[in-house]
């Protein structure tokens, strides 16, 4: 009897050890994947902003050279084709249209141009509107993973907090939050609202209740 009980305890102990090791392995993997995912996103932001600045400097120099050269037919054809080639940027296979930085929540990540189940795992994305830093309301959606990534901490944002958007021209615009609220996932009025000729963005993410959305309005001064 005692032998059987000792065997049972040994098996139980082995099972507990295996479970603990598996749990620790999962937690370590989860932590490292989130850590490196965040670093990867931040590196992509830095690279993007450096590249767009360099691209704009190159375009400026090209335009200056065009103005200085004699307006021959050959030069006009060459210059037209060279200045019309806009550089495209990608992040994890998606077209990257800019970056978003929110100092209060320490978010610094790429913005892609397509909302799909896989694209918003990689980054935040433009759902609707004229485009980043354009007149009108541009809606940017991101996951609430409840782990600090993407829009997880948007609930901490209040009126007066700042959001910074950089677009593919290298233009970095400061937006000031002026409205935050929770609405139904069926409500799209916030996206199609009239901004009165202002440049605005709306950030949207799900709440703890997946049928609701936390919406944040911010305006460029």
Task: Give dist(CA 98, CA 17) in Å, integer.
Answer: 47
Tell whether pTM > 0.85: no
Q: Please tell me the predicted confidence (pLDDT) of residue 83.
A: 42
Kindly give the confidence (pLDDT) of every residue in the chain, 221 residues in length, as a single tens digit, with 9 standing for 90 and above: 656 656 666 766 667 766 656 555 544 434 434 555 567 788 888 888 888 777 666 655 555 555 555 555 444 434 444 444 567 899 999 999 999 999 999 999 999 999 999 999 999 999 999 999 999 999 999 999 877 889 999 999 999 999 999 999 999 999 999 999 999 999 999 999 999 999 999 999 999 888 999 999 999 98
Q: Please tell me the predicted confidence (pLDDT) of residue 86.
A: 62
Q: Please tell me the predicted confidence (pLDDT) of residue 117.
A: 93
Task: Give dist(CA 178, CA 35) in Å, integer.
Answer: 31
Task: Give dist(CA 14, CA 6) in Å, integer.
Answer: 12
Domains of the chain: 32-220 (2.40.260.10)
Q: Please tell me the predicted confidence (pLDDT) of residue 77.
A: 39
- Please give the backbone phi and psi of residue 74, each rounded to the nearest 5 degrees, phi first: -65, -45
Q: Please tell me the predicted confidence (pLDDT) of residue 171.
A: 93
Q: Please tell me the predicted confidence (pLDDT) of residue 75.
A: 46
User: How is 116-137 classified by DSSP, letter by letter?
Assistant: -TTHHHHSEEEEESS-TTSSEE
């Amino acid at each position: 009897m005692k032998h059987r009980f000792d065997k049972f305890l040994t098996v139980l102990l082995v099972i507990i050890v295996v479970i603990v090791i598996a749990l620790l392995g999962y937690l370590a993997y989860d932590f490292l994947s989130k850590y490196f995912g965040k670093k990867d996103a931040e590196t992509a932001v830095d690279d993007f902003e450096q590249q767009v600045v360099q691209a704009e400097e190159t375009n400026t120099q090209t335009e200056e050279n065009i103005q200085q050269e004699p307006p021959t037919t050959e030069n006009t054809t060459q210059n037209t084709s060279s200045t019309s080639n806009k550089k495209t940027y990608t992040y994890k296979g998606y077209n990257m249209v800019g970056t978003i930085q929110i100092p209060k929540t320490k978010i610094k990540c790429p913005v892609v141009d397509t909302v799909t189940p896989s694209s918003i795992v990689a980054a935040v994305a433009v759902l609707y509107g004229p485009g980043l830093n354009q007149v009108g309301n541009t809606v940017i959606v991101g996951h609430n993973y409840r782990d600090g990534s993407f829009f997880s901490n948007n609930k901490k944002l209040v009126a007066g907090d700042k959001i910074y958007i950089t677009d593919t021209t290298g233009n970095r615009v400061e937006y000031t939050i002026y409205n935050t609220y929770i609405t139904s996932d069926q409500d799209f009025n916030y996206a199609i609202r009239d901004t009165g000729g202002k440049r605005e963005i709306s950030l949207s993410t799900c709440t703890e209740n997946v049928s609701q959305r936390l919406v944040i309005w911010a305006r460029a001064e």
